[in-house]
Structure 1
Amino acid sequence: MDAQLRQEIVDLCTAMLATFSKEYIKAYTIELVKKATKEARETPSPYFLEKRPKDFDKSDIFKGSLIKLGAVRKNWLKRHFVVRYDYSVDYFVDENETTKKGTINLCGYRVEDDPNQSAITRIFNLAEKLGVDTSSIPKPKELPPFTIELYHYSRRCYYIQCANEDEFKEWVEMFRICCRRAYGLKNRDPCHQGAFHVAVRNTRWSLGRYGYWSYGGNEIQILSDLISTEVEYDILGRALRKLPNVPWFIRNFLRNKMMNVIDGIITSAVNPSWAAMDKTVTELRPTVEPRIKNQVDPIAQAQGNIVNKMKEQIMSAAQQSIEQHLAPHLAKIVRTTKEPIQSGFVESFKIWNDKTNGYSGNGSKESFSEYRRYPNNCWTMHPARIQIHDLEDPLRDLSKIFSDIWPSSIIYSIKEDITAMAYDGTYTFEKTVTEDQQDIESSKNSTREKYEHDVYTGTDEQIKFVIRSCACPVLFKVLKPITKPILSSLSSLVPSGLNDFLDVDEMYTQLINDIVDENTQIALDQIKN
């Protein structure tokens, strides 16, 4: 790696962190505005079931003894694994759970159920980048049957062996749930969560990366991965082409050395930068939040005025883009997605109803302990979640038209919302009995009515989610050259003193989402009629 290449990476880190910092601080302020507005004007939820708090039940979810490959000695050792309520995974020396050996947070990871094949695929993909003849690469050492790989491209990977096929299937599904539901961000404040994800999105958009990007972990890990991915897009190919024409093992060794240098540059830039950002917003909030609360009405009025002006100036172009890129496919998307999504929610209701009818406790909180945990069992919810597999072919076809969608992510997200509704159903029933003091049968009936309503609400909301996932990346790309000068001019309409509290770009993003939702609702109504 020469000095010029190193400097390019340093400059890219500096530029991306500067963009992220600006976007994060702006988004954090906007999240405070949203929080104050929501508190001042309660917006009713379209759902009737009550939302179960994330930490409502802190019981362990799943446990069992498995064989784990050591990180240093590379020997296989029996370990007792426990999946906690927050989907972190602790492992111990034995079932007594007295000597803890480690914790795995799988946020940002993926589960490979055929690690031998996935290892070969990764090696061949890397060989292609390095320009190496794949016929000269020896196969990696094979792992034993029923081995699971918990894989991350830039963090430690874990290899876990199961005793038999049934155990293997159970743990594959459980680890996949942990990958999806484990919480990575260290700061649990909702304003921080919302702002951080918006800043990640906007930083990618500033680079022209409008499509889906999978990420997870804590703040520093995500920022490092964000920059590392862009280095790979923009710089790494040129760097790899400079490697000498030598055997695979030497080229791979040199490549790994290069990646170590790149990772070091990124880490040394991200750590102090994130510390400074975190300090800035921590000091900002006590000053800004009281100002926002005192100006909720003027902020809402100014936002309404700007959005109305925005509609006047971009609606024609937005509707034209929708007519060109979305409308020809809209009815078909609604028809092909509605049946599997609705079937999934209907099946989740049947499972909930069966479990609820089977409840025979005395109405105490303790008597609900087993009942409330049934959605954690992947096999119990499997009949509902598997319905969504029927979306695979339609979404794969749509990806030929909407190239920035990620079918597997869309499918998994819908599965999770189906499971979340089952959690909300159990919580609503339990709360109605234990806190609202309704009798058990009345509580079952009232919760049943709410669940049945939410099945259809959930179906419509998930169809809108699918269509937003397809259409919005395309629309943002197409409309960017048209809307950029318009949005710039609309910034002048922000009243003096409210500049920090109103974000024209965020209003625009929400407006496009709303326009897509409105068109989707029209298509839904037409199909229902």
Structure 2
Amino acid sequence: MGVGPFASPVSDEQMTKIKELMETILKTFTLEYTKAYAIALVKHIEEELKQGKGEEWQLMERPEDSLTTPLKTGYLMKQGSVRKKWLRRFFVVRPNFKIDYYESEEIYNKGGKVKKTISLCGYSLSTDLAKDLLARAQELAAKMGMDAGDLPAVATYPDFSWEAHHERRRCYFMQAENDQEKEEWARVFDLCCRHCEGFNSTDPVAVAAFEKAITKTRQELGHWDSWTCGGSETQILSDLIVDELDQTMLGEIFQNIKGPAGLRMTIKNKVLQVLDTMVMAAVTPAYKAMETAVNALRSRIEGVIRSKIEPIFQAKEKIKEKIQNAVLKTINPVLSEKVTPRLAGIIEILISPMTDAFKETRVVFDGQMVHLERTVRERNGFGESLAPHFSGLDCTPRNPSLMRNAFKRVDAMEAPLWALQQFFDDIDPGTLISEANDTLSKILDMAVYTFEKMLEQEVTTQPAIKSNGAAAEAAVQKLKSDVRQRFGVDANKATVAYYREVMMKIVMPFLLKVVTPLTDPVLEPINSIIPEPFQELINIKAEFESVLEGLVGGAIDTVIESVTSS
């Protein structure tokens, strides 16, 4: 491995191991991706045939990509990537969670040129820079076999600063004008980190298969925990490989670097740069070949699946019955001793915060309705267009300032969720809390959208309310009452669904890690009963996971029913 004018700290033997590990991971992923694609295609076709049988909401769901109003706009200071100067820029957060920035608000208002678009797929947010930068420095010192005091001093940043951080991509340092602005902007940046889409593929089957293959590849490498990743397919696959190299080899390589601290850091950074380039050079053609292979696979099997979906479904049910009969003696003791007794404790952590958070979310909706009532009263009706009224409503569920109280209620889960690590060591409380916030925002967005659609219909049937303040106010009050009732029903549904999802995410990785080594020998013979025409379409391990999810889901549903009905 060439590292410029410096002696490489990577031995020939280590380089061989790096290449072998890259090859092993790519081979494993290729196999898992191909299997997952066939399974995902079967599931996709099954769901197509069951259209209209999904979750039944009383509120209306907003169509994807229908929003055009920015989620947030305003000025921030941004640190430059090269000279590290702080520059004032006008930021616009788009509904697709991409972030544009301009040299000024004037240029934005005139439809001028975007200075840069930031995609935060796979990034994480650091709002306590002093603490987080010190922790990273200490971790790096340990990895390199150095005293933390020998490292260059940790950089200091102005008040009200934060970072959008990624281990192997450019990091973004921002500064707001005050603490409240920092909190609001940081919340929006966090949304962008979690929701920005980076996949190049628009095929839902390919996306589902890719995500499943990443999970299965990590499990083959011995990792059962959740893994935060994001970006394009090649970026994620490269991150997977470099992350594994980091855990298995880089510490030893870094400790081979000798010399003064500054020189060692320079060589370390060069090693990582060369390694990233080498990994991406291997991943790019490999993934292109995978895409070609799965496209050929789809052309070959899609017609078969569509023509034989009922026999495939029947074969899967028969196989799942065989699996359940074969593994119950192994799984039931683990479930009854290590999982089921802890479910009630998990849901107790969730109930009060989610109940209180939805109450706060309803307060947000009511507040927006009161504001609208006052507006139409003062302006004597809605006017000729509803659009100005809707633009503010549309942003409400994504407005951190308005949602602050609801989100703070959810934060009460954090400490007790962390305490569960003594039993479930792969738990990720931060992700679970973020998903709770997403649940609140989703139901509020549905309430807002439902109100807007109902109001459009009301204006169509009663055009006089455009210019009659009293009638317009009465219309808002009537529709608000209707939407609030629907909100209550759907909030309960969404809360129960969240309880179930959280408990599945906590329990399933733990359970799979424990029972997979015990059940693999039992499952192997069942492969022989898969009908020969369906060998590519039915996977024993996938069906085993489905059986396990059914057993765990049944236990979870019993606990939820017991707790929510009492």
Report the TM-score when normalising by structure 1.
0.94
1:497 is paired with a residue of what secondary structure? helix
Deviation per CA, 1:7-31: give whole Å up to 9, x if none.
Answer: 1111111111111112112212222
* Gap change, CA 1:64 and 1:188, over 3 Å in 2: same
Deviation per CA, 1:141-160: give whole Å up to 9, x if none.
Answer: 42222222221110001122
1:210 deviation in Å?
A: 0.4
1:241 deviation in Å?
A: 3.1
Count of residue pairs brought into register by the alignment: 528
RMSD: 2.2
1:435 deviation in Å?
A: 6.9
Say whether the 8 Å CA contact 1:120–1:139 is kept in structure 2.
no
Say whether the 8 Å CA contact 1:9–1:262 is kept in structure 2.
no
**Correspondence 1:280 to 2:293:** yes
**Correspondence 1:447 to 2:483:** yes
* Gap change, CA 1:438 and 1:451, over 3 Å in 2: farther
1:112 deviation in Å?
A: 1.6
1:106 is paired with a residue of what secondary structure? coil
1:271 deviation in Å?
A: 0.8
User: C-alpha separation between the residues in 2 aligned to 1:117 and 1:510?
Assistant: 42
1:319 deviation in Å?
A: 2.0
**Correspondence 1:380 to 2:402:** yes
Which residue does 2:267 correspond to in 1?
Answer: 254
Say whether the 8 Å CA contact 1:399–1:407 is kept in structure 2.
no
Say whether the 8 Å CA contact 1:363–1:433 is kept in structure 2.
no
The structure whose Rg is larger is 2
Equivalent of residue 214 in structure 1, options 217, 222, 228: 228
Say whether the 8 Å CA contact 1:348–1:381 is kept in structure 2.
yes
Say whether the 8 Å CA contact 1:349–1:455 is kept in structure 2.
no
Which residue does 1:15 correspond to in 2?
Answer: 24
1:370 is paired with a residue of what secondary structure? helix
User: C-alpha separation between the residues in 2 aligned to 1:402 and 1:371?
Assistant: 40
Which residue does 2:69 correspond to in 1?
Answer: 59
**Which deviates more, 435-444 or 417-426?**
435-444
User: C-alpha separation between the residues in 2 aligned to 1:75 and 1:471?
Assistant: 47
Deviation per CA, 1:177-233: give whole Å up to 9, x if none.
Answer: 211121111223222221111111011011110012111111111101111111111
Which residue does 1:239 correspond to in 2?
Answer: 253
Counterpart residue type for residue 427 of structure 1 = Y
Equivalent of residue 37 in structure 2, options 8, 12, 28: 28
Counterpart residue type for residue 149 of structure 1 = E
* Gap change, CA 1:32 and 1:357, over 3 Å in 2: farther
Equivalent of residue 527 in structure 2, options 481, 491, 501: 491
Deviation per CA, 1:286-343: give whole Å up to 9, x if none.
Answer: 4432322111111111111111111111123222111121122222222222111222
1:62 deviation in Å?
A: 0.9
**Correspondence 1:72 to 2:82:** yes
User: C-alpha separation between the residues in 2 aligned to 1:391 and 1:438?
Assistant: 46
Deviation per CA, 1:245-271: give whole Å up to 9, x if none.
Answer: x33222222222222232122111111
**Correspondence 1:85 to 2:103:** no
Say whether the 8 Å CA contact 2:326–2:523 is kept in structure 1.
no
Say whether the 8 Å CA contact 1:107–1:179 is kept in structure 2.
yes
Say whether the 8 Å CA contact 1:432–1:438 is kept in structure 2.
no
> Within 5 Å, which residues of 2 pair with 1:101-250?
101-244=115-258, 246-250=259-263
**Which deviates more, 505-514 or 206-215?**
505-514
1:167 deviation in Å?
A: 2.2
1:362 deviation in Å?
A: 7.5
Say whether the 8 Å CA contact 1:325–1:471 is kept in structure 2.
no
**Which deviates more, 364-373 or 430-439?**
430-439
Say whether the 8 Å CA contact 1:51–1:427 is kept in structure 2.
yes
User: C-alpha separation between the residues in 1 aligned to 2:461 and 2:244?
Assistant: 56
* Gap change, CA 1:67 and 1:447, over 3 Å in 2: same
Counterpart residue type for residue 222 of structure 1 = I
Which residue does 2:550 correspond to in 1?
Answer: 514
* Gap change, CA 1:426 and 1:192, over 3 Å in 2: farther
**Which deviates more, 22-31 or 193-202?**
22-31
1:164 deviation in Å?
A: 2.5
> 5+ residue gaps in structure 2?
1-9, 374-381, 463-474
> 5+ residue gaps in structure 1?
none
Which residue does 2:499 correspond to in 1?
Answer: 463
* Gap change, CA 1:356 and 1:24, over 3 Å in 2: farther
Deviation per CA, 1:378-435: give whole Å up to 9, x if none.
Answer: 1112222221111112101101211111111111111112111211222233344547
User: C-alpha separation between the residues in 1 aligned to 2:190 and 2:141?
Assistant: 28
User: C-alpha separation between the residues in 1 aligned to 2:540 and 2:363?
Assistant: 45
1:225 is paired with a residue of what secondary structure? helix
Which residue does 2:442 correspond to in 1?
Answer: 420
* Gap change, CA 1:427 and 1:315, over 3 Å in 2: farther
TM superposition outliers: structure 1 runs of 4+ over 4 Å: 356-365, 432-446
Deviation per CA, 1:328-377: give whole Å up to 9, x if none.
Answer: 22222222221112222333233234434654547976353322221121
1:326 is paired with a residue of what secondary structure? helix
User: C-alpha separation between the residues in 1 aligned to 2:118 and 2:308?
Assistant: 44
Percent identity over the alignment is: 30
Which residue does 1:268 correspond to in 2?
Answer: 281
Equivalent of residue 482 in structure 1, options 518, 522, 540: 518
* Gap change, CA 1:365 and 1:192, over 3 Å in 2: farther
Which residue does 1:503 correspond to in 2?
Answer: 539
1:155 is paired with a residue of what secondary structure? coil
